[in-house]
């Protein structure tokens, strides 16, 4: 069985949003799986959602009855993506193949409540991103990649899943650049990028990755649990238990200093690999804590060089965060200088930083043009000179300066 694409109703002014909802197979019935972003600074303790169910032909069932479902005793942390407890549906929903969903009410830990106005919301279709494809996209765009970027009317959806108003140049949740998301990470651009990356290495995956799907398989809940790391692993059989006990007993008897050294090497390599995973996720503090306990070399890798690389990434990440704060404060020149300090090896921030620099360049060129039109070519020249002092080899700024001053 397959389920249709979900439509969510959302107002970008609302900071608690449903980013996806879909049907899954429970023991004998269906369950509704809902993912939510809490972009507020407060913990959410209660949510009420309104849901319409549709059948395989896209028609509403239950005479368009809206189901209201409340989630109590929640603990949705601030600034986080969370998975709501599964809503187990009864036999009445056996013909359901898709949902239309919105949040109607939110309660916070401090006692405050928000009631969302349906008339101010827009409807967005949530695209399907198969797990295999999403895993590859997380490597390219960061571990918080959730879906494709998209512009619809006066809103745009970021790849973290959060929906922003068209006026917002950076995502309110993850601080990615709107220009970057809508120019590089729409479904069309992603498919093009993946095809180019894999067409010569894995043609089958390249073809699968570029296939547009309007339905997705209805998966079992235990598969979803396992994917999210919340499922329990099956208990080993008695035969396996006896076998492993015997192996452990023999190993204990035969244990020598050489075995200890092998274990130490495996453990060291495992910790080294764990540090690399933390670096890929941008958790440099966790990686640094592991590096502190590693020997000077790991499998012929000079740890002094790796520590130096980590320091570079930490400085790059700090520059990116500083640039975001300066951008929000309206200091575009200082923000540009900080974005320029982001290094290419910083995979979590480099593409965003480049996009933000291009956006600032566009704003500066437009401002210089306004100065020139008002007869203030000196101010236009000063503006260009300020940016070119930071980026003297920038051909775009140089050409724009010449065009404005010779007009």
**Cα dist. 398→339, 373, 403 in Å?**
19, 19, 9
Query: Residue 239 has what pLDDT?
Result: 47
Residue of 146, 168, 14 lying closest to 81 (CA atoms): 146
Which one, of 169, 157, 148, lies nearest residue 122 by Cα? 157
Residue 44 exposure: Cα atoms within 13 Å on the Cβ side: 27
- 365's tokens: 């060129």
Helix, strand or coil for residue 256? coil
User: Checking phi first, is residue 115 left (phi over 0); if not, alpha (psi -120 to 50) or beta?
Assistant: beta
For each of the chain's 407 residues, which pLDDT tens digit applies?
Answer: 677 888 999 999 999 999 999 998 887 788 999 999 999 999 999 999 999 999 888 888 888 889 999 999 999 999 999 999 999 998 888 888 889 999 999 999 999 999 999 999 999 999 888 887 888 788 777 888 999 999 999 999 999 999 999 999 999 999 888 888 888 888 888 887 766 665 556 666 656 655 656 666 777 888 777 777 665 444 444 444 545 455 455 455 544 434 334 444 567 878 888 888 888 777 888 888 888 888 888 877 888 888 888 899 999 999 998 988 888 788 889 999 999 999 988 887 888 888 888 889 988 999 999 999 998 999 999 999 999 999 999 999 999 999 998 87
Taking 3-state DSSP, the helix, strand and coil percentages for the chain, each rounded to the nearest 5, stand at 45, 20, 30
Separation of alpha carbons 57 and 11, rounded Å: 28
Give residues with Cβ within 8 angstroms of 32, minimum separation 6: 21, 22, 23, 24, 51, 86, 87, 89, 99
Question: What pLDDT was estimated at residue 256?
Answer: 43
Q: How far is CA 223 from CA 67, 97, 99, 213, in A?
A: 26, 19, 21, 20
- Check: CB of residue 271 under 8 Å from CB of residue 290: yes
Is the CB of residue 358 less than 8 Å from the CB of residue 370?
no
Cβ contacts of residue 29 below 8 Å, gap of 6+?
88, 89, 90, 91, 93, 94
State how far the Cα of 57 lies from the Cα of 44, in Å rounded to an integer: 36
Question: What local confidence, expressed as pLDDT, does residue 196 receive?
Answer: 64
Q: How far is residue 133 from each of residues 144, 207, 289, 297, measured CA to CA in Å?
A: 14, 11, 32, 35
Cα 67 to Cα 279: distance, rounded to the nearest angstrom: 44
pTM (2 d.p.): 0.60
Measured distance between the N- and C-terminal CA atoms of the chain, rounded to whole angstroms = 65
Name, in order, each residue with C-beta under 8 angstroms of 124's C-beta and a sequence gap of 6 or more. Answer: 7, 8, 9, 10, 150, 152, 155, 157, 163
SS3 310: helix
The tokens 């997705």 sit on which residue? 216
* The pair of three-digit structure tokens given for residue 275, joined into one six-digit string: 């540090």
Provide the phi-psi class of 364: left if phi over 0, else alpha when psi is between -120 and 50, else beta.
Answer: alpha
Residue 388 CA to residue 127 CA, distance in Å, equals 41
Closest CA to 233 of 246, 249, 219, 222: 222
């Amino acid at each position: 069985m397959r389920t249709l694409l979900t439509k969510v109703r959302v107002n970008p002014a609302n900071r608690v949003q449903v980013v996806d909802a879909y049907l899954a197979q429970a023991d004998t019935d269906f369950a509704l799986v809902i993912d939510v972003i809490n972009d507020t600074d407060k913990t959410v303790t209660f949510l009420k959602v309104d849901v319409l169910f549709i059948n395989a032909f896209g028609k509403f069932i239950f005479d368009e009855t809206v189901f209201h479902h409340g989630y109590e005793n929640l603990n949705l942390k601030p600034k986080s993506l969370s998975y709501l407890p599964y809503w187990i549906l009864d036999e009445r929903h056996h013909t359901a193949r898709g949902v239309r969903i919105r949040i109607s009410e939110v309660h916070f830990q401090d006692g405050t409540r928000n009631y969302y106005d349906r008339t101010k919301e827009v409807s967005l279709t949530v695209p399907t991103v198969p797990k295999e494809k999403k895993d590859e996209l997380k490597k390219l765009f960061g571990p918080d990649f959730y879906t494709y970027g998209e512009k619809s009317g006066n809103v745009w959806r970021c790849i973290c899943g959060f929906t922003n108003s068209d006026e917002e140049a950076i995502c309110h949740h993850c601080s990615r650049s709107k220009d970057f998301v809508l120019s590089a990470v729409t479904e069309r651009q992603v498919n093009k990028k993946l095809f180019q990356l894999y067409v010569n290495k894995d043609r089958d995956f390249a073809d699968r990755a570029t296939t547009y799907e309007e339905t997705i398989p209805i998966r079992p809940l235990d598969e979803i649990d396992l994917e999210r790391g919340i499922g329990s692993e099956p208990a080993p059989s008695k035969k396996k238990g006896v076998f492993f006990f015997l192996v452990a007993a023999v190993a204990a008897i035969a244990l020598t200093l050489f075995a200890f050294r092998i274990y130490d090497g495996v453990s060291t390599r495992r910790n080294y690999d764990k540090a690399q995973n933390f670096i890929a996720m941008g958790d440099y503090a966790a990686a640094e804590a592991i590096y502190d306990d590693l020997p000077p070399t790991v499998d012929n890798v000079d740890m002094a060089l790796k520590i130096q690389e980590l320091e570079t990434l930490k400085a790059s990440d700090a520059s990116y965060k500083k640039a975001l704060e300066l951008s929000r404060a309206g200091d575009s020149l200082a923000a540009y200088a900080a974005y320029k300090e982001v290094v290419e090896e910083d995979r979590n921030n480099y593409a965003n930083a480049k996009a933000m620099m291009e956006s600032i360049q566009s704003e500066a060129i437009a401002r210089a043009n306004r100065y020139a039109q008002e007869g203030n070519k000196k101010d236009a020249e000063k503006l260009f000179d300020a940016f070119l002092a930071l980026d003297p080899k920038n051909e775009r700024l140089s050409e724009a300066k010449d065009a404005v001053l010779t007009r």
